[in-house]
Amino acid sequence: MTRKILVLPGDGIGPEITAQASRILAACQARGLDVEVEEALVGGGAYDEYGDPLPAGTLEKARAARAILLGAVGGPKWDRLEDLSKRPEKGLLGLRKSLGLFGNLRPAILYPQLAEASSLKPEVVSGLDIMIVRELTGGIYFGQPRGIEERDGERVGFNTYVYSESEIERIGRVAFEMARKRGKKLCSVDKANVLEVTILWREVMDRLAPEYPDVELSHMYVDNAAMQLVRAPRQFDVIVTGNMFGDILSDAAAMLTGSIGMLPSASLNESGQGMYEPCHGSAPDIAGQNIANPLATILSVAMMLRYSFDEPALAGRIEAAVGKVLDDGLRTADIASEGTRTVSTVEMGDAVLAAF
Amino acid sequence: MTRKILVLPGDGIGPEITAQASRILAACQARGLDVEVEEALVGGGAYDEYGDPLPAGTLEKARAARAILLGAVGGPKWDRLEDLSKRPEKGLLGLRKSLGLFGNLRPAILYPQLAEASSLKPEVVSGLDIMIVRELTGGIYFGQPRGIEERDGERVGFNTYVYSESEIERIGRVAFEMARKRGKKLCSVDKANVLEVTILWREVMDRLAPEYPDVELSHMYVDNAAMQLVRAPRQFDVIVTGNMFGDILSDAAAMLTGSIGMLPSASLNESGQGMYEPCHGSAPDIAGQNIANPLATILSVAMMLRYSFDEPALAGRIEAAVGKVLDDGLRTADIASEGTRTVSTVEMGDAVLAAF
Ligand SMILES: CC(C)[C@H](C(=O)O)[C@@H](O)C(=O)O
Ligand SMILES: CC(C)[C@H](C(=O)O)[C@@H](O)C(=O)O
């Protein structure tokens, strides 16, 4: 197995937050983690430099890496690019697709130290711990045909929402296995009362269920799931859903915690290769100000150690260091509250390193 | 203009709640509202009786009516019907499509009397008043091709997300007009960084904007919108979006109020014909127990009077009666809290009638 890690800082706050995560990674190397770390361009920065949000050189390095750490991509600078295939987001989507990173794990965990940051009542969210398993390389994100064309004298835009049985089964197994390791409850989210593609989704999930008799499978329509996440989110353990619904629900779930700046994610393929990134975006409005929260990216390193390098002890140390820093009352601006000390991106990195 | 109202009680709690709304309607007639009221079957009940969730006779009556009052459709009894075209939901979707009810208005209002019912902190939701304008007869709900078929030795499910310029423009105008009558802020929700169909959506909204210089138009990606609804919902005035995103976001927004049992909706076509229904579903688990909340359906009658019969005074009287009953501390079980009196569906109807 290759021991290469590719760091892709990306756009907006990406470079600042990956810089702090890279310091932690270096500290792990100092403690014996045997990996080689490289960097490359992706997203808007890559477009500016090479006219392509996913340059061939970056993709090649990505293929050769065991794990990728991504900051974030995108920003208003590139939002109006006529050619969708050149937008920063296509760099991200291209990486997911090219590497087959179909299994996206998005935890929504409420840190007890940050309970106040949530817009929900404490009794509704305290102890929240949901894992959203989102299919990441199929569905309407990649379905063909797609485009904008002239029909009957006007323009029409169209995309295709499509899943095959094997794609559904593959992500279903990831979710059942995940549920098995956690609270043994899996909720599959679809819109099977309207969309044929999700009728098939539901059918395949039902077919898998007998193979995981220890996991309790339920189904929920996506509109109801959005409601239930707001009403009583602790009813969920693991949620599995397609690419588009997963995009929406995982962001809603993340926001329940009030601290999306804290949430890491992993995207895995069948051979255990993984891309790790914070759940939040590139936040161009605060880029370059040394105020962004690096913790989601630092925690993404922990996820990487756990899932791609089988180093749970080291991962646990990072998580513990983050916990200690929060206990000490240090906060970046996004999670600041009364009685805590607001620190910069770099100071937060310093503090985690010191506690590591 | 025809003065006919068609009441479609539907399934689950539908018959109980429309019964109470019909009493209010009768009281309006007694006060001089010149309308004729009829009833018909739709949904699961219609399927059981005629093998069709939208029988020809019902559709004919619907076409002839100025306004339709719908309870709710669907239930576990019909959830496993192999033929999607026979499911109760198809009765509802068929009505929307046949009558061209493209403009779906879904208010999310926090009743001050029910502030406690929300799972969000009072300081986040007090005074909440959002209007979601959802496109209702296009998008992925109705796009062709759709189905499940065999490809390369396995089954594949697919649906088509499609909008034409004219469809987008039509719903855009409804939303701009609505914003003009309200807080003059319109947020259009799309996923223009990934889906071509929503690139066209965004473009058409931008094109309309100069015609409504008094309205401030903004754009937001759907994942961010789901987050912002949880984080700081009062930033929104009017939201406009397509059928599928509207389904998800309107339910999330409704749940922010903690009392989806209170929220009415209207679905209008180009000639002012309208269908009115509560935002909540058929709640089969509590059907027939005389405990369902009839207020959303009663408030749907108020919306009907306002939008289809231009009777704002009468509509206001109904809304005031509902306010009075809440002030008096009467609550159905779903909105009960300490210090209030829990009443049945019929008792709630009695109380609103008495206050009317
Ligand atoms: C940037 C965008 C293309 C991406 C997505 O929609 O998948 C992001 O929102 C995410 O969830 O990772
Ligand atoms: C019952 C279902 C088909 C319907 C929809 O998805 O539109 C419902 O959820 C709604 O929002 O009115």
Within a domain: residue A153?
Answer: no
Q: Are residues A11 and A50 in the same domain?
A: yes
Q: Is the CB of B310 under 6 A from ligand 1?
A: no
Within a domain: residue A59?
Answer: yes
Residue that is last in its domain, among A268, A290, A321: A268
- pLDDT given at position A61: 97
Q: Are residues B219 and B114 in the same domain?
A: yes
Instruction: Indicate left, alpha or beta for B89 from its phi (over 0: left) and psi (-120 to 50: alpha).
Output: alpha
Residue that is last in its domain, among A225, A250, A268: A268
Within a domain: residue A157?
Answer: no
* pTM score: 0.96
Catalytic residues of B: 141, 191, 223, 247, 251
**Bond prior to B145 in cis (omega within 30° of 0):** yes
- pLDDT given at position A1: 54
- What CA–CA distance (Å, rounded) separates A35 from A310? 13
Q: How many CB atoms lie within 10 A of CB A203?
A: 17
Residue B110 per-residue DSSP state: -
Q: Are residues B14 and B79 in the same domain?
A: yes
Q: Are residues B77 and B141 in the same domain?
A: no
Q: Is the CB of A247 under 6 A from ligand 1?
A: yes
- What CA–CA distance (Å, rounded) separates A61 from A66? 10
Q: Is the CB of B223 under 6 A from ligand 1?
A: yes
% helix, strand, coil for chain B, step of 5? 50, 20, 30
Contact (CB, 8 A) for A187 and A238: yes
Query: pLDDT tens digits for chain A (356 residues)?
Result: 569 999 999 999 999 999 999 999 999 999 999 999 999 999 999 999 999 999 999 999 999 999 999 999 999 999 878 788 899 999 999 999 999 999 999 999 999 999 889 999 999 999 999 999 999 999 999 999 999 999 999 999 999 999 999 999 999 999 999 999 999 999 999 999 899 999 999 999 999 999 999 999 999 999 999 999 999 999 999 999 999 999 999 999 999 999 889 999 999 999 889 999 999 999 999 999 999 999 999 999 999 999 999 999 999 999 999 999 999 999 999 999 899 999 999 999 999 999 99
- Give the residue ranges of DSSP H helices in B55-118: 56-64, 76-79, 88-99
- pLDDT given at position B2: 67
Rounded to the nearest angstrom, the distance between the alpha carbon of A215 and the centre of ligand 1 is 29
Residues of B in contact with A135 (CB under 8 A): none
A279 Cβ under 8 Å from any chain B Cβ: no
Written as six digits, the tokens of A252 are 């809603």
The residue to which tokens 């969309």 are assigned: A195
Instruction: Indicate left, alpha or beta for B148 from its phi (over 0: left) and psi (-120 to 50: alpha).
Output: beta
Q: Are residues B305 and B256 in the same domain?
A: no
**Owning domain of residue B150:** 104-262
Within a domain: residue A282?
Answer: yes
Q: How far is CA B112 from CA A296, B108, B116, B258, in A?
A: 37, 13, 9, 11
Main-chain dihedrals φ then ψ at residue B4, nearest 5 degrees: -90, 140
Q: Are residues A117 and A176 in the same domain?
A: yes
**pLDDT tens per residue, range A44-85:** 999 999 999 999 999 999 999 999 999 999 999 998 787 888
Distance between B264 CA and the closest CA of chain A, angstroms? 16
Strands (E), chain A: 4-10, 36-39, 67-72, 103-109, 129-135, 147-151, 154-164, 185-190, 216-221, 238-241, 264-268, 274-278, 330-331, 341-342
Instruction: Render B162-231 in DSSP notation, one character per residue.
Output: EEEHHHHHHHHHHHHHHHHHTTSEEEEEE-TTT-HHHHHHHHHHHHHGGG-TTSEEEEEEHHHHHHHHHH
Within a domain: residue A172?
Answer: yes
Contact (CB, 8 A) for A53 and A87: yes
Rounded to the nearest angstrom, the distance between the alpha carbon of A139 and the centre of ligand 2 is 21
Q: Which pairing describes strands A67-72 and B330-331: parallel, antiparallel, or unpaired? A: unpaired
Q: What is the dihedral of CA B127, B133, B136, B139, to 10 degrees?
A: -120
* C-alpha radius of gyration, chain A, whole number: 20
B96 is in an annotated binding site: yes
Closest among A75, A77, A46 to A62, alpha carbons compared: A46
Closest among A321, A323, A318, A294 to A306, alpha carbons compared: A318
Q: How many CA atoms lie within 13 A of A20 on its CB side?
A: 31
- What CA–CA distance (Å, rounded) separates B128 from A158? 34
- What CA–CA distance (Å, rounded) separates A191 from B155? 18
Q: Are residues A176 and A128 in the same domain?
A: yes
Low-confidence ranges of chain B (pLDDT < 70): 1-2
Total domain count, chain B: 2
- In the residue annotation, A191 being an active-site residue is answered as yes
Q: Are residues A296 and A201 in the same domain?
A: no
Residue pairs spanning A and B at CB distance below 8 A: 187
Contact (CB, 8 A) for B217 and B113: no
Within a domain: residue A336?
Answer: yes
Q: Are residues B313 and B179 in the same domain?
A: no
Burial class (CB in 10 A: 0-12, 13-18, 19+), B85: exposed
Written as six digits, the tokens of A7 are 């760091």
User: In the β-sheet with B216-221, what is the strand arrangement from edge to edge?
Assistant: B36-39, B4-10, B67-72, B274-278, B264-268, B103-109, B129-135, B238-241, B185-190, B216-221
Name residues whose C-beta falls within 8 Å of residue A278's C-beta, 6 or more positions apart in sequence.
Answer: A17, A71, A72, A261, A263, A264, A265, A296, A297, A299, A300
- pLDDT given at position A130: 98
Rounded to the nearest angstrom, the distance between the alpha carbon of A117 and the centre of ligand 1 is 24
Q: Are residues A122 and A262 in the same domain?
A: yes
Q: Are residues A259 and A328 in the same domain?
A: no
- pLDDT given at position B79: 82
H/E stretch holding B108: strand B103-109
- What CA–CA distance (Å, rounded) separates B101 from A167? 36
The residue to which tokens 């993984």 are assigned: A274
Within a domain: residue A144?
Answer: no
Contact (CB, 8 A) for B13 and B73: no
Q: Is the CB of A89 under 6 A from ligand 1?
A: yes
Residue B85's domain is classified under what CATH number? Answer: 3.40.718.10
* C-alpha radius of gyration, chain B, whole number: 20
Catalytic residue among A251, A324, A328, A350: A251
- pLDDT given at position A80: 79
Residues of A in contact with B158 (CB under 8 A): 143, 160-163, 196-197
Residue that is last in its domain, among A268, A288, A321: A268
- What CA–CA distance (Å, rounded) separates A186 from A258? 24
Contact (CB, 8 A) for A47 and A88: yes
**pLDDT tens per residue, range A168-192:** 999 999 999 999 999 999 999 999 9
- What CA–CA distance (Å, rounded) separates A87 from B147? 31
Closest among B219, B238, B176 to A80, alpha carbons compared: B219
Q: Are residues B133 and B242 in the same domain?
A: yes
